[in-house]
């Protein structure tokens, strides 16, 4: 019975002993007891073992809840900022012109930036593909809103939506999708996808200017290549060289590892 009382007293003091809160005399007594008591020594060893906090289900659930709470707060902040911007433009447009005109363009522009970003944050699989799909739809919608407001409401410009707006938007959508396809389909590096994008931007610029009717002869083609195409071509060649060097370096490290 006396031995049991001593063990109980030592076990009560062990947490303070581990935290170095006991006196020197107490430390000597505890250590003398532990050296001859296997039960108390086992308890001390268990107390000194690190607690596997990551494996606690309650902690994991709390982390998930905390993450969802942060994301919900972020969504609310984004939504509040968008609403404030839309309401401000609504009031200013009415105050200046007495009707709504460019407000629709601003609202469509905010939606074009907000919806793809929201999808990119919410989606866990195929994030880039879904974000680009939403961005494509929003861009065409935005162009339509701009055409209607500018031409039909404000009487500025001409009917360009089907003649130049849609073809140019389709052209650059195809260019971006091709670079993303290279990244997703062949599991390449981001640098490779950027290289493909820069390479395709060279003919993309020429086709865009052709759709807009900027070229009147070979002199215009040459001038545009010197001012724009030459820089894009040089950047594309540089990225291709960097991509090849990185690929060769990885192959060399892989062979060396084998």
Distance, CA of 153 to CA of 89 (rounded, Å): 17
pLDDT at 247: 75
Is pLDDT at 215 greater than 90 in this prediction? no
Measured in whole angstroms, how far is the alpha carbon of residue 171 from the centre of its chain?
Answer: 25
Structure tokens at 215: 């070229």
Structure tokens at 53: 């906090």
pLDDT at 134: 93
Is pLDDT at 66 greater than 90 in this prediction? no
Is pLDDT at 11 greater than 80 in this prediction? yes
pLDDT at 105: 94
pLDDT at 139: 94
pLDDT at 62: 61
Confidence of residue 39 (pLDDT cuts 50, 70, 90): confident
* Contact between residue 141 and residue 122 where contact means Cβ atoms under 8 Å apart: no
Is pLDDT at 202 greater than 80 in this prediction? yes
Domain boundaries, the chain: 2-48, 53-159, 160-258
Confidence of residue 55 (pLDDT cuts 50, 70, 90): very low
Average pLDDT, the chain: 83
Strand ranges inside 12-159, DSSP E:
none
pLDDT at 4: 57
Is pLDDT at 110 greater than 60 in this prediction? yes
Distance, CA of 33 to CA of 109 (rounded, Å): 76
pLDDT at 50: 65
pLDDT at 253: 67
Q: Tokens 């490779």 identify what position?
A: 192
Min mean pLDDT across 108-122, 157-171, 177-191 is at 177-191
């Amino acid at each position: 019975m006396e031995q049991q009382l001593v063990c109980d007293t030592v076990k009560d003091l062990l947490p303070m002993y581990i935290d170095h809160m006991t006196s020197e005399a107490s430390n000597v007594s505890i250590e003398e007891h532990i050296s001859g008591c296997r039960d108390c020594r086992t308890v001390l060893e268990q107390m000194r073992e690190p607690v596997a906090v990551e494996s606690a289900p309650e902690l994991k659930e709390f982390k998930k809840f905390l993450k969802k709470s942060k994301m919900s707060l972020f969504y609310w902040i984004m939504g509040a900022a968008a609403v404030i911007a839309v309401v401000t433009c609504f009031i200013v447009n009415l105050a200046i012109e007495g009707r709504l005109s460019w407000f629709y363009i601003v609202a469509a522009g905010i939606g074009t930036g907000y919806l793809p970003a929201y999808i990119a944050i919410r989606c866990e699989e195929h994030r880039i593909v879904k974000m680009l799909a939403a961005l494509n739809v929003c861009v065409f919608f935005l162009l339509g809103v701009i055409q209607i407001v500018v031409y039909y409401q404000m009487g500025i410009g001409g009917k360009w939506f089907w003649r130049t707006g849609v073809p140019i938007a389709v052209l650059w959508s195809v260019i971006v999708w091709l670079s993303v396809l290279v990244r997703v389909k062949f599991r390449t590096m981001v640098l490779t996808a950027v290289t493909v994008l820069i390479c395709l931007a060279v003919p993309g610029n020429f086709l865009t200017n052709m759709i807009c009717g900027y070229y009147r002869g070979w002199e215009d083609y040459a001038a545009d290549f010197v001012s724009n195409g030459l820089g894009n071509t040089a950047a594309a060649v540089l990225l291709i060289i960097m991509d090849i060097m990185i690929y060769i370096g990885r192959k060399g490290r892989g062979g060396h590892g084998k």
